[in-house]
Structure 1
Amino acid sequence: MHQRYKGIPWWGWVAAAVLYVVAAAVAVEFAWNRAIDVLADVGAHRLDFYAASLTSELGRFEMVPALVARQGSVRALLKASPDEARALLPTVNAYLEAVNRDVGSGAVDVIDAHGTVIAASNWNQPLSFIGTNVSYRPYFKDALAQGRGRFFGIGTNTGIPGLYFAHAINDGDTAMGAAAVKVSVDALESAWRTPGEVALVVDGNGVIVISTERQWKFTAMRAMTAQQQLEIQASRQYAGRVVEALPYRHRGDWNNAAWFGVFPDPGHEGRTARFLVMSRPAPQGHDTIMVLLDTVGARRQQRIALAFVTGIFLIATLYALYAAQRRRVIVEKLKAQEALRRANDRLETTVAQRTAALTQANTQMQREIAERERTEQRLRATQQEVVHAGKLAVIGQMAAALTHELNQPLVAIRTLCDNARTFFERGQSAQANANLERVGRLVDSMAVLTSELKAFARKPDVELVAVSLGEAVAHARVIYASRIRDEAVRLDVRIAPGTTVYAESSQLQQVIVNVLGNALDAVRGASTRVIAMEASEPDAQGRLRFTIDDSGPGIAPDVLARLFEPFVTTKPRGQGLGLGLAITSRIVDGFGARIAAANREEGGARFTIDFAAAEPPGTEHER
């Protein structure tokens, strides 16, 4: 059995890979040939343009030396005696200066038969050519021998490269001297400079004399022999420079008119680039025009062709995979339908069985939920009973103090009533009425105390609302008023008006009463009896901290860790059951608040309750 991958035989993958390699190679080669053909056409047009530029730019200077040679004052200067020459020299210099300015050349000179410049267009400049001997220059030698000369070199005075044209000045058949003009090629190089190509003019020695790439200038396209180096040094054509060969490698011919070469990359120092090189003879002299065209565009076309072929094969591969996958899916779907039919038969039986089981489990769950709800109701009722029992325990602990608090007004009422009866018997009704008014005030104060006790003892329905923290503290102060007064406790309360928290009113009162009662017990034996109660401003999370500090002895460490557990107390046996703080903790938890206890560094204990702050009732409607 043939091995398969993704549903396709292995020989299919091999055939596809071979086809891809062949197609990619053909496409890359076709893209390269087509791109190089286009590049060669561009190079041919560029060579035509450069040849035309040389003809138009340099041809207009070639006739200047012949015109100067025909000028009468110039010929007279070469024939004149020394005295006559001194008289004619200003006229000739002015004429040469005017010619140079009109044609835009670099300089125009008149040279005698010995090769000395006797007149020049730059006669009045610091680097004047007058007096310079150029007898060794090829253009001067060719002009005397052949009637005209042409030469590219670097100026010996200025060090500036340029093209020299010369023409003999004859007296009959005898050469009296020569006229020469120097032309700068900087403008020509700037006009030829084009991205992605390099334009060159190579002279008869193989030296690059015009180049759009400055670093290649005055390097040779071939290795120079020792004899050629001596001849170049003798003519000082390149101002004494040793001509180095341009480092490039020939990489094969494209056709008879073009070849490939690897040259230094003009845009990246230290790197090389591959160029298509084309050349043709220059219109004048023995020079050669060359153009180097970067083949990076052709390589880009190769990459595009490769990407195109790769994309086509990827699409074909994905389609083949899709077709194989679809066929496999159809087969598997048919198998799955048959398996599903068999499974459906089994499922109907299983569903019937499971439905009966689920119905039974659901009935059992409903019974358990109902039982849990009843248990939770009993638990909440039990918690309320515990809280109510805690209140009654606190009331029982305060019974003695309350008896004393009520007994004093009752004694006073009895005395005032007896006095009022005596005043009535004496006919002193004013004094009797005053005593009765005092009795009424005493009865009202007793009613306030009993109403606070009644509200404290009431078993409340728990509903969290905005409750005033200051009023809850005031309620606790009323309950413990006699104890605070009799035990000389200083109570310092710092709660801003309008401070409200989420709680149930009566349960919040019980929490404050329990904590304040513990604080009073703590400072009972202290030399300084101070209790401080303070509420902070709500923070960014809407939480408010309420603290109760006392100046007592603090809480023992072993007790502090279990302080809010039931039946944990520091009081002597018979004075407390240890349920107060446990009940307080459960009430606070029901508010969504937290209570904690700690010993202060300066002495005494601190209870902290972290409430959820609430806005005072009616505030939202005002907004």
Structure 2
Amino acid sequence: MLLAGVAAYHFSARAGLAALRADTRHDLDLLATAVDGSVTRYEHLPSAVALSSEVLRLLRAGKDELAPLQPAANHYLEQLNGFFGGLAIFVLDVEGTVVASSDWIYSDNLLGQNQKLRSYFQAAVRGAPDRYYAIDETRNEAGYFFAHPIRDEGQDWRIVGVAVVKISLSELERRWMPRDEPMLLADANGVVIVASVPEWKYTVLRPLSGEVAAEISAARRFADQAIRPFPVTLDATGTGGAALVSFPEAPMLVGGRRLKARDFVVETRQLSGTGWQLVTFADLRARRADALTDAALGAAATGCVLLLGLFLHQRRRTLKSRAEAQALLQKANAELEQKVSLRTADLTAANERLRAEVAERERAEQTLRAAQDELVQAAKLAVLGQLATGITHELTQPLGALRTLGGNAIEFMRRGDQATAQGNLEIMATLVDRMGEIIDPLKTYARKSPARPASVDVAHALRNALFLLDQKLRRAGVAVDNRCEPGKALAWCDQNRLEQVLVNLIGNAVDAMSEGPVRTLRLEAEAAPSGRLLVRVIDSGPGLSEDALAHVFEPFFTTKPVGVGLGLGLAISQDIVRDFGGDLSAANHPDGGAVFTLDLPMAGEQQA
């Protein structure tokens, strides 16, 4: 049992450490991305400063002309810094003197300071953008600097100054305060610039070379802060490796909260955008406690195995009761067969009930289909009622002409002028044919008939729908752009019901454009690569809101005023289109307005 416990402890410890490293790496990746993104989002801001006309005029002026030009440049930098929320934005001339700054309003501003010793200025004045972490001695304030050269187009793109943006890293520190595990951020030289343990700040993770130490000291990069070695030795190379470290005493976080652990797993990440190193310390106590628990369980399991052996040995003495057990088994088998027969009877009854429910649902479906047909017919008759005024106007003129021509024909026949009377009768026949052409689409549209799919010319259906809505289109002042040519778009559907859907969609489009300055209705039909036929009704109205797009095909949903429409037209139209294997969808057109698309099966596809 002791050997089993030791083995379980070592195995669990290794597995727990691997899981802890995986979790730590995942958290470190997320945090590294957030830190890198929150810092590098300022890197293009200095180039925006270089485009300012106020800044260019200031850098072009001589030293005696700086005073009148400085206020405009200072105000521009102040507004830009207030918008992005940095610490300061300032401009240096080629000699390293600050000639404009966003903090000009403060007494301890940067104006007039010379920063030619700073490495970011030296790199930028040579034409290379640079970034740099340092402590500003004027305010004893740490910040991260982005520098970018300013080139003058009027002087053959010669470098006339340097734009610098200074941001604070205090936001990163505030994000780390609530964490229960230590973290730190070191620059490219290994100097800790942000840490959740205050005493770690401005320590170095690895020894500095003489050249780097001299540069930091000469530029007073960290002011009077002494650079101390880190309390323990870390593999802070940024290669993503993990290591175990043990501190002499438990670290104390910000706020005086001392941790209980001294042993940690260290994970390091290199930030690609800044060259910094992000280091996290994960507590090992929970994993070791789990390993001890697993060791105890391993020892207990070994004891259980030993007890199982004793049990098997004891079981040999109970073989004499096999006969009794066999009898009990036969009895249980008989009871099981009885239960099976009862369950079979229950299943048979349930099957009969299910068949009755299926028959009832089929009857309900037939009733629903009949109700849907009645609702379709009622919608058609409602549209016909709206068209009654226009049709009456179309028939009034032919009827008046018939009455006049009939009276004239009687008079000419009385006078014996048969030729003129015959001419009047021929004109009357022409007018009767014209009235039949007007009435025939109405008869076809109003006819109540079951849906019989056939090859339908979409151009013919569109022409009939436009005829039925001709008066409404004229009154609304809608210009129709019908791009569907006869004989080129054949769909497999019921023509009468397709016309009803088109009448509903065109009528809705006219209503949607009633308040618009431009009222254009465009009709298109084209074959899709998938072998389907797409018919589009496009209006120039205000389009559909997100809420309307989500509920436009729901029954009783309408965007029209109260009392105008029941909100059933689009729901019925979608059901009609789906009955013959199609679909109806709605969207907003990129050029404005709404577009309703009929996805119909093509005649050739269905016949094949």
Larger radius of gyration: 1
**TM-score normalized with structure 2 length:** 0.46
